[in-house]
Structures are given as C-alpha cells and as structure tokens.
A and B are shown apart, each in its own frame.
Chain A
Amino acid sequence: MVLELTDETFDAFVRDNPVAIIDCWAPWCGPCMRMGPIIEEVAHTLAGKAGVAKLNVDENRNTSLKYSIRAIPTILVFKDAVLVDTLVGLRQKEDIIESAL
C-alpha cells in the first residue's frame, strides 16, 4: 500500500525523500481510482529510488492550495524538495517514472 500523506506530514515526506512522487486524488473521482493501481506499480518499480505517496485533496486543502491543484488526478514530482514536474490527468506508469528519473 502506498503511504497516505496529510497536510501535516507532506513537507517532511518531501524533505526526507530525494525524489518524491505524490498522487493527489479524491475518492469520488473516476480517473483517480484508475490512477491508484498505476501509482502502486510505480511505487513497486521505484522502490529504493523514490518515495511514492498519495494525498487526498478533499481532506487536505492547504497542500492543494499551496500547489494550485485545480484538477485531479495530479501528480507532483519533487527532487531535493523542489517541485520539478506536475502531471495533470490520468498518466501511464512509464510517463510517471520518466518524469522522476
């Protein structure tokens, strides 16, 4: 299972992982439910290379506001705690991995 972040744990996760991939989602969003298993696969493939987590935007409004998330699913990619890529919409596993490497 991929770790679920909150507004409180988000910054520490980004700081502690040289590469952090965060899937911003909500339970009532169809494309987000399809992204779920893809993100699980990404986490499996990048184990030891990147920290992969999810953030429920409905319950964690502050982080969504901070990163101007206006569509879900959105994937945020951080390297050394700097946001380097924002992938909007349903993406294939390969696209996500490429953006993180």
Chain B
Amino acid sequence: MDFDVMVIGSGPAGIQAAIHSARRKARTVLLGKAGNSAMAGAKIENYFGTGGPEDGSALLAKGLSQAEAAGCSAIGKNAVSASAAGGSFSASLESGAEISARAVVLATGVSRNSLGIPGEKELFGKGVSYCASCDCNFYKGVPVVVIGGDSEAALAAELMTGYASEVRWIADGVAADPILVERARRAGAALAVGRPVRISGSAGVESVALADGTEIPARGVFIELGGRSSADLAMDLGIMPEPDDSVKVDGGCRTSVAGVFACGDVTGRPWQVARAVGQGAVAGSNAADYSKGAGS
C-alpha cells in the first residue's frame, strides 16, 4: 500500500502528527499499537485542558478516532523493519504487509526493555540478553527462554529455534500478530503464558522462575519487550541514533535523513505529552509538505 506519509508509533506524538498530516490532505498511515505508548494506562494531569487526572488510554483512543476522522488509515500493527530506497520509504509489518510512503515520521517513543526482576541486571552478558539477533550464536545447542508478548519476542523466539536446543517463549499476554505467533510455534518455540519473577544463576544463567512457582532451566534468557526499538528503526532508515537511543532533530523535527522526521520521546527529554503533541504537529505538517514536494 502506498501513502504520502507513514507515521510509525501510535502515542500522542504519532497521533498528533497523523492528524496534522491528514488535515493537509496527505494520504497518511499510522502504524503501531496505542497500547504500547507510555501514555497508555497513565493518569495525565499536567496537559493543557485536562483539568484533573485523565485516563491516558481514553485520550489515546479519542486521538485515534480523531486521526481516522481526519482521513488517516490507522493500522494497529508494529513495523518489524523499515528501509529507504530511491527517495521513498517502506516498512514491513508484523502481519506481513508492506507499506510505502514518500515521508516518514518516527514517533516510536522510548522502549521499555528491562523487566526489572532479580537476577536480570546481575546476569546481563552472562546469559541475559536484550538482542537475540546479536547474541543468538552464543547459544548453540543450549536451552533458552524468550520473554515478551509482542512482535519482537515472537521474532526472537522464531530466530532462536535455529540455534538453541529448546526455546521456551514466556509471555504474560500475547499482543504479537497471530501470523508471527504461528511462525514461531511452527519453528518449534513452545509458548506458555506466565510472568517471570526471577532469573537465577551464579557464573551464568541457570533458570527462570515464574510467578506460579515454575522453574525453567535455561542457559540464555532473551528479554524482548514491545515492538522494534526506535534506535533499530532509525538505523534501518540510515539515521545513527545517539548513545542514549534518541534521534536528533532540528526545530522542524527533521532528522539527518531527508524525508524522515521524528517527534515525541524518541527525540529526547523531557518525556512529556505536551512536548510530544507539539512536536507531532510540526513533524506531521512538515512531512505532509515534504511528501508533496513542497520541501519542509
């Protein structure tokens, strides 16, 4: 499917960008899951016009319908990769669909990548990994656990079946597209619902404990939460992220790559709804103009 503007990320920055882009009559597509936004489930008190604690999820839902009413196509699927070629950009979705556009707005927010459970920090680099595609080769022929319920975990579980002797995929809720879940299962990953509470081992990982008391023996634990990280997507598009994973933009929300704009938490602190929305308006407008050849 071909669009003028592709917005990656369905938080306040991405939704506002989509609204401004669509209102400028650019054919706009919005990717990602609003439920992955830091605003989902949060109480919003310091944003203009809210007055008191407002339910973040409800605001996101309202914003999404507003974007759709403005003419934007909202696809609640994660982008699993992106690419740039010949002045146009494309993204592969977890459902297998391909989307292309003349301009991109990166609004992927800040990824939460750690679980914060005992043993995780201590065993990082000794069996705990946050990058299956980086570290798969170190786990040939040993049992591993993949943790997470979204597209990155599904892809990691599928990948690890090519290396590990056994892949146990633990999720406390599955948000990944059924196509990806099926692919991982067919490859041999055993999916089970559960909540990890502790990673144990001394010199290296030995096991993962779940809340129900189950202890799973493993030599490797891959923690893969949410969708593809903002830093990875930026690199796919030819942008080198800052060491803290943020993407540098100018006052017009332009990145170092022409046609790629960024807004919201992905561009740095302060991580605030007000800032995200303000930048979203700028990025969406400029991306729409860029896509129509008006520059930005």
Contact = CB atoms under 8 A, between A and B. Distances in A.
Interface of A: 26, 28-34, 37-38, 57-58, 64, 68-72, 74, 86, 88-93
A30 B232 contact: yes
Contacts of A93: 243
A69 B203 CA distance: 12
B129 A34 contact: no
B126 interface: yes
B134 A72 contact: yes
Interface string B132-158: 011101110000000000000000000
Interface string B239-250: 011011000000
Nearest to A86: B125
Contacts of B127: 70
A93 B137 CA distance: 27
Contacts of A58: 137
B76 interface: no
Interface in B180-223: 203-204, 220
Contacts of A28: 133-134
Nearest to B128: A71
Given A28-B134, A34-B240, A71-B131, 11 more contacts: A26-B134, A29-B134, A31-B131, A32-B134, A34-B241, A70-B126, A71-B129, A72-B134, A86-B125, A90-B243, A91-B243
A74 B243 contact: no
B138 A29 contact: no
Interface string B52-76: 0000000000000000000000000
Interface residues of B, number: 24
Nearest to A36: B240
Contacts of B125: 69-71, 74, 86, 88-89
Contacts of B232: 30
B124 interface: yes
Given A69-B138, A71-B125, A90-B243, A33 B133 contact: no
B99 interface: no
- What are the 10 tightest A-B residue pairs by CB atom distance, in nearest-first order? A88-B125, A29-B134, A71-B125, A70-B138, A92-B243, A71-B135, A71-B129, A72-B134, A30-B232, A30-B235
A32 B221 CA distance: 20
B231 interface: yes
B90 to A, nearest CB: 19
A70 B220 contact: yes
Contact of A29 (B131, B203, B204, B220): B131
Given A29-B133, A70-B135, A72-B135, A88 B124 contact: yes
Interface in B12-64: none
Contacts of B128: 71
A68 B12 CA distance: 43
* Most chain B beta-carbon contacts within 10 A, residue among A68, A71, A92: A71
A58 B245 CA distance: 25
Contacts of B244: 92
Nearest to A70: B138
Contacts of B124: 71, 88-89
